[in-house]
Amino acid sequence: MTIEVEATYENGVLKLDRLLPLREAVRVTVIVKPKVGRVRQSAGLIPWTGDEKTLNELVGPDNHPWTV
């Protein structure tokens, strides 16, 4: 069984966003894959001739159209 869950790394500990359906003391293998920001994730989808700093300002968290 494979379970994918997001987590936050704080003070040397991974804090999962939700509980896992696992028995106590069960051993697991953890693969850490840092999340990529929206700009890096969508790089190349829209032709852009400007610099990355300007692009980050345009689609940053304060200006992004999908941010609630």
Residue pLDDT, tens place only, 31-57: 998 877 776 777 777 777 888 888 777
Higher pLDDT, 68 or 16: 16
Q: Backbone dihedral region of 24: left (phi > 0), alpha (psi from -120 to 50 degrees) or beta? A: beta
Q: CB-based contacts of 39: which residues, under 8 Å, 6+ apart?
A: 52, 55, 56, 59
pTM of the model: 0.49
Query: In the predicted model, is pLDDT for residue 30 greater than 80?
Result: yes
